[in-house]
Amino acid sequence: MINYGTFFFTNIVSMTVLTVCLCLLAWNNRKVTGMKWIAAGMVVFLIKLVLQGLEGQIPEILSSMLALQLYLIAFILQMIGLRWFVVRKPMQRVPWLLVVIGLLLAIYTWMFLHKIPHSNDVLNVPLVIVCGMSAWILLKHGRGPFTAVSRVGAVILIGDMIVSAYRGVLTSLSFSPWELVHVKTDPRWMYSLAAMAFLATCLVMCVLWFVVTELSKELAEQARTDPLTGALNRRAMEESALRETTRSIRYGHLPCMIVLDIDHFKHLNDTRGHAAGDAALQALVNQIKPMMRVNDVLARTGGEEFTILLPNTTASAGIMAAERVRQTVEALEVPFFEDEPIRFTISAGVAQLDPAQGGWEGMMRRADAAMYEAKESGRNSVRPIARFNEQAALKVAAPIL
Active site residues: 304
Amino acid letter, residue 296: D
- Beta bridge mates, 257: 309, 351
- Beta bridge mates, 336: 339
- Cα–Cα distance, 17 to 115 (Å, whole number): 36
- Cα–Cα distance, 299 to 307 (Å, whole number): 5
**Other beta carbons within 10 Å of 297:** 22
Note whether 118 and 108 are within 8 A (CB).
Answer: no
Give me the sheet containing 297-300, strands edge to edge: 297-300, 305-310, 256-262, 346-352, 382-384
Give the chain's end-to-end CA distance (angstroms, integer). 70
Note whether 54 and 17 are within 8 A (CB).
Answer: no
Angle made by CA atoms 89, 91, 96, in degrees to the nearest 5? 165
Question: Could you tell me how far CA 363 lies from the centroid of its own chain?
Answer: 34
3-state secondary structure of 2: coil
- Half-sphere exposure (Cβ direction) of 243: Cα atoms closer than 13 Å: 11
Phi, psi of 398 (to 5 degrees): -65, 145
- Cα–Cα distance, 132 to 306 (Å, whole number): 47
